[in-house]
Amino acid sequence: MSNQEVVVLSVGGVRYVTRASTLQQFPDSRLARMLNHDDWEFKLVNGEFFVDRDGTLFSYIMDFLRTLQVCLPTDFSDYQRLRREAEFYGLHPLADLLRQEHLLKPRLEILEVRFSLQEMQAFFRIFGSCSTTVEALAEQITVFTGQQSGQSWSSPFPSQKTLVPLPLERPSYHDMVFQCGTEYSAGEQFVARYVSIKPDNRKLINGTNVLGLLFDTLLKDGFRLISARTVASEEKVECYSFERMKRPTGLTVTVNQTPGSSGVAQARRGQKQKGK
């Protein structure tokens, strides 16, 4: 690239190197005018544009100019300061997005697992505050049913017999119900239900093993166990509560690059969300 295509900025002592076209995404912004030496706030020193602003927050300004998205860390809290920086640089579409702070902040998710043992069967009910999370978990869980002889919880998956997948019960968008184990059918035959949780390929019939695999799946997905209690001792119903901070979906600015346009922008979601 030629020297005219590469721009070096020193923002509060933090050095940034970028393309001129990146800074010109919004022609009316002060960063675009800076390239024409039309803004007194930016001093050209030894070939670098210097501006006495927050150098750390400017990294988010650059990320926005490069992607036209606002994706902030889960622990970010300087919304007002970043909006002030966006307004200083004349990036009004970014400032407008930052005013939608409630859409950019991470959300606390709660997931509750109820587990009960009744003779040779185990019953599960999972409730989540975010329906999209429950939907994704339901796609990972499959219940298989089939006939088998004997009723041992340690019975391995009968590979020689055909198992039929069963749909999970979904009382609402926010919960699901399923069970595993065996129940009496006729003679020495029992109906067996096995549970598989992706990406694990095992089919488990023991309720305690299924519970352990479910816990492992949730922990790997960013949840943490916050409480465990017995809610119905006579029915042996145990309740486990999990929580996690879910990152928000990034907000995107669409720039209308029409002749004579000064960079009109419209905010939209980076991807479709449901279950809000």
Mean of the per-residue pLDDT values for the chain? Answer: 83
Helix (H) or strand (E) holding 101: helix 101-104
Q: Cα–Cα distance between 67 and 189 in angstroms, integer?
A: 61
189-211 pLDDT, tens digit per residue, is: 778 999 999 999 999 999 999 99
Give the single-character DSSP code of 235: G
Phi, psi of 103 (to 5 degrees): -85, -20
pLDDT score, position 38: 82
231-248 pLDDT, tens digit per residue, is: 876 768 999 999 998 766
CATH class for the domain made up of 108-150+159-246:
alpha beta
Q: Cα–Cα distance between 49 and 256 in angstroms, integer?
A: 28
Q: Give residue 261's pLDDT band: very low, low, confident or very high (50, 70, 90).
A: very low
Which ranges in the chain are annotated with CATH 3.30.710.10?
6-103
Task: Report the pLDDT averaged over residues 30-44.
Answer: 90
Q: Which amino acid is at 15?
A: R
Against a cut of 0.75, is the pTM above it?
no
pLDDT score, position 183: 80
- Tell me the three state secondary structure of residue 265: strand
pLDDT score, position 99: 86
How many other β-carbons are positioned within 10 Å of the β-carbon of residue 35?
Answer: 15
Tokens of residue 18, six digits: 């970028």
pLDDT score, position 37: 86
Ramachandran class of 143: left when φ > 0, alpha when ψ lies in -120 to 50, beta otherwise: beta
Outline where DSSP puts E strands in the chain. Answer: 6-11, 14-19, 43-45, 48-51, 69-70, 107-118, 121-128, 141-149, 164-166, 169-172, 175-186, 189-197, 224-232, 237-246, 251-256, 264-269
Q: Which CATH architecture has domain 6-103?
A: 2-Layer Sandwich (3.30)
Q: Give residue 254's pLDDT band: very low, low, confident or very high (50, 70, 90).
A: low
Q: Cα–Cα distance between 47 and 71 in angstroms, integer?
A: 31
Q: State percent of the chain over pLDDT 70.
A: 79
Q: Cα–Cα distance between 88 and 147 in angstroms, integer?
A: 71
pLDDT score, position 160: 47
Tokens of residue 243, six digits: 């929580």
Q: Tell me the CA distances in angstroms from 120 to 39, 124, 133, 254, one per residue in order.
A: 77, 14, 30, 57
Which ranges in the chain are annotated with CATH 3.30.1410.10?
108-150+159-246
pLDDT score, position 186: 59
Name which of 87, 57, 109 is nearest 246 in CA terms. Answer: 109
pLDDT score, position 26: 93
40-72 pLDDT, tens digit per residue, is: 889 998 889 999 999 999 999 999 999 988 888
Name which of 93, 135, 90, 127 is nearest 111 in CA terms. Answer: 127
> 120 with 153: CB under 8 angstroms?
yes
98-123 pLDDT, tens digit per residue, is: 888 777 777 889 999 999 988 889 99
Residue 12 has pLDDT above 70, yes or no: yes
